[in-house]
């Protein structure tokens, strides 16, 4: 075989397409996380306030989470076709369990004495939620967003089967055409994207929660 | 200033009420300590005053108004509150913690800044601490910030639940002395919960000795509790060294008094 394993010239010829697919990948991921959070957040608050709802909510989202993605997209496309809607229904479903669980456990982790002091000082229940509970739960919620984002970036490649897929397009191209260059390109870029976005989210979280960076006391009385 | 009338509290699922038919009058400007063994209802009693616990029956008046008829959030904003673990907001700086209540009450920035300087001076806080987060403070500093926060909006009434309980004995003593000093200037009406009779004797104008179920065994100034304990429970609770405690309390005490006391077999 004279043909090299990776055809750099092919990649060079397809830079524009790579850019397009990369943007599509980011777009599909961001949309899924955004919609997922909008659905997960109120459900998590409901589960946190009224524990009896937590079981059913976790149960249903847990079942969604376990459905194999290939099967889900195959079934969904019979109803919603080869569309972004089909892709997003699947992607959003997979974010819910992670996001809901992290919002609830973040709220559970707020120290009782802090909430008690806030109540005793005259914070209204709404002020306790927005000014005490959510800021203190933020690191755990942010961790959930990170896990959901990285998971979604991986899953987006599967939506190549329904004509979307972002960088997954190259993976599929590579598999169908027995062309390793394209499959590798898609896989490597997808992993790099996940790592870069995870790093950006860590930075953002650190920026938004300056108190968690504060060094522990060396001061004396 | 604070008046509890026939107050009872039963928690669901318990047979005996935590507090039963408790009545208590607290004068303006007094620091009253609630003391007793665990389970005596002292914290429950205190927490009913700002309605962190709702009484099952009875009436509680603060400044002549029944707290049960007031908006609970507004009520709490008018009463200073300090708990043992302090509960500073970990995501807010010391300054933001101290100014929580003035900010909730909508004070303007100039007034808040002026109040912060007053509080820093009153509690002998290092102004450099204002920009730090609670996790960067020592135990004693945290405690003083907690007191500053409770005093921020200058409430006439304060509730303090073991406010100096979480620090080591040396720091505790210093905080107690400092707070007593401050109290002679600001003359707040204070309900002070402690399990430590020595702390109560040192801090209080009057002491309430509570027994299980919120039963008041004695309500009297510290000297009186030491010199004439109302019954065996009080005698036992105050301890066998009460003669010595009594002497330590009297400012006039000198060596001669101690010797006289020793000869009289009172120690």
| Tens place of pLDDT per residue across chain B (267 aa) | 999 999 999 999 888 899 999 999 999 999 999 999 888 999 999 999 999 999 999 999 999 999 999 999 999 999 999 998 899 999 999 999 999 999 999 999 999 999 999 999 999 899 999 999 999 999 999 999 999 999 999 999 999 999 998 889 999 999 999 999 999 999 999 999 999 999 999 999 999 999 998 899 999 999 999 998 989 999 988 886 666 666 666 554 455 455 455 554 444
Segment A66-78 mean pLDDT: 90
Q: By the CB < 8 Å criterion, does A209 face chain B? A: yes
> Residues 145 to 164 of B: which have CB under 8 A from any A CB?
146, 149-150, 159
- 3-state DSSP helix/strand/coil % of chain B, to nearest 5: 45, 20, 35
Mean pLDDT, chain A, whole residue set: 91
Query: Is it the case that residue A27 has pLDDT exceeding 90?
Result: yes
Which of A120, A209, A215 lies nearest to residue B91, judging by beta carbons? Answer: A209
Residue B157: helix, strand or coil by DSSP? strand
Segment A23-44 mean pLDDT: 97
| pLDDT for position A221 | 36
How far, in Å, CA of B228 to CA of B220, rounded? 10
The least confident of A45-59, A205-219, B85-99, B246-260 is: B246-260
Phi-psi region for residue A178, left (φ > 0), alpha (ψ -120 to 50) or beta? left
Do B81 and A120 lie within an 8 Å CB cutoff?
yes
**Could you tell me the end-to-end alpha-carbon distance of chain B, in angstroms, rounded to an integer?**
38
Q: By the CB < 8 Å criterion, does B176 face chain A? A: no
What tokens does B141 get?
Answer: 């500093």
How far, in Å, CA of B226 to CA of B247, rounded? 10
Of B141, B204, B143, the residue nearest A117 (C-alpha): B143
| pLDDT for position B240 | 62
User: B114: number of CA atoms within 13 Å, CB side?
Assistant: 7
Q: By the CB < 8 Å criterion, does A9 face chain B? A: no
pLDDT band at A37 (very low <50, low <70, confident <90, very high): very high
Residue of B nearest to A114 (CA): B87
Contact B135, A216 (CB under 8 A): yes
pLDDT in tens, A78-115: 999 898 999 999 999 999 999 999 999 999 999 999 99
**% of residues, chain A, pLDDT over 90:** 76
Q: How far are the Cα atoms of A182, B113, B222 from residue A12, in angstroms, in the given order?
A: 12, 62, 89
Which of A132, A215, A220 lies nearest to residue B89, judging by beta carbons? Answer: A132
Do A113 and B76 lie within an 8 Å CB cutoff?
no
Of A192, A139, A187, the residue nearest A167 (C-alpha): A187
Of B77, B53, B71, B159, the residue nearest A123 (C-alpha): B77
Residue A2: helix, strand or coil by DSSP? coil
How far, in Å, CA of B52 to CA of B54, rounded? 7
How far, in Å, CA of B157 to CA of B190, rounded? 6
Sheet holding B189-194, edge to edge: B79-83, B157-161, B189-194, B31-35, B206-211, B215-220
Contact A221, B141 (CB under 8 A): yes
Residue for token pair 């009434």: B157
Residues of A in contact with B78 (CB under 8 A): 122
| pLDDT for position A178 | 85
| pLDDT for position B242 | 66
| pLDDT for position A214 | 62
Q: By the CB < 8 Å criterion, does A118 face chain B? A: yes
8-state DSSP, B30: -
- Min Cα separation A205/chain B (Å): 13
How far, in Å, CA of A140 to CA of A146, rounded? 10
Query: Is it the case that residue A216 has pLDDT exceeding 50?
Result: no
Q: At what angle do helices B242-249 and B255-263 cross, to 10 degrees?
A: 160
Which of A120, A211, A219 lies nearest to residue B90, judging by beta carbons? Answer: A211
Q: State the DSSP H helix or E strand holding residue A215, giving kind and residue range, or none if neither.
A: none
Beta strands in B94-143 (DSSP E): none
Of B83, B79, B74, the residue nearest B104 (C-alpha): B74
What tokens does B245 get?
Answer: 């405690």
């Amino acid at each position: 075989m004279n043909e090299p394993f990776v055809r750099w010239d092919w990649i060079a010829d397809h830079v524009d397409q790579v850019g397009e697919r990369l943007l599509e990948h980011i777009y599909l991921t961001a949309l899924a996380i955004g919609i997922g959070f909008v659905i997960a957040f109120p459900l998590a608050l409901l589960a946190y306030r009224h524990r009896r709802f937590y079981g059913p909510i976790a149960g249903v989202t847990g079942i969604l989470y376990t459905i194999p993605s290939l099967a889900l997209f195959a079934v969904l496309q019979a109803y919603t076709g080869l569309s972004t809607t089909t892709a997003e229904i699947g992607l959003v479903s997979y974010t819910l369990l992670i996001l809901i669980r992290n919002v609830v456990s973040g709220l559970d982790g707020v120290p009782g004495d802090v909430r008690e002091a806030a109540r005793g000082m005259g914070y209204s229940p709404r002020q306790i939620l927005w000014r005490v509970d959510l800021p203190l739960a933020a690191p755990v919620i942010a961790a959930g967003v990170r896990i959901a984002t990285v998971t979604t970036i991986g899953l987006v490649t599967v939506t190549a089967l329904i004509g979307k897929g972002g960088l997954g397009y190259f993976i599929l191209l590579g598999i169908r055409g027995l062309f390793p260059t394209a499959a590798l390109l898609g896989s490597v870029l997808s992993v790099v994207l996940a790592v870069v976005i995870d790093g950006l989210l860590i930075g953002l979280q650190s920026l938004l929660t300056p108190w968690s960076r504060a060094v522990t006391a060396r001061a004396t009385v | 200033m604070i008046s509890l009338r026939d107050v009872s509290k039963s928690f669901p699922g318990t047979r005996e009420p935590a507090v039963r038919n408790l009545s208590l009058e607290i004068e303006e400007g007094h620091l009253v300590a609630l003391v007793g063994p665990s389970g005596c209802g002292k914290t429950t009693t205190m927490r009913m005053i700002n309605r962190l616990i709702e009484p099952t029956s009875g009436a509680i008046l603060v400044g002549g108004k029944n707290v049960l008829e007031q908006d609970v959030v507004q009520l709490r904003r008018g009463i200073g509150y300090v708990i043992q673990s302090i509960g500073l907001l970990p995501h807010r700086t010391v300054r933001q913690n101290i100014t929580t209540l003035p900010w909730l009450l909508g004070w303007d920035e100039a007034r808040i800044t002026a109040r912060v300087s007053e509080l820093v001076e009153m509690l002998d806080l290092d102004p450099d601490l204002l920009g730090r987060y609670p996790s960067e403070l020592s135990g004693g500093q945290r405690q003083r910030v907690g007191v500053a926060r409770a005093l921020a909006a200058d409430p006439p009434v304060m509730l303090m639940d073991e406010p100096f309980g979480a620090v080591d004995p040396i720091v505790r003593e210093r905080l107690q002395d400092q707070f007593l000093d401050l109290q002679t200037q600001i003359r707040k009406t204070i309900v002070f919960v402690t399990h430590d009779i020595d702390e109560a004797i040192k801090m209080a104008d009057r002491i309430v000795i509570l027994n299980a179920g919120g039963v008041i065994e004695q309500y009297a100034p510290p000297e009186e509790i030491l010199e004439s304990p109302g019954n065996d429970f009080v005698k036992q609770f105050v301890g066998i060294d009460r003669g010595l405690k009594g002497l330590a309390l009297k400012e006039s005490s000198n060596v001669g008094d101690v010797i006289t006391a020793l000869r009289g077999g009172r120690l």
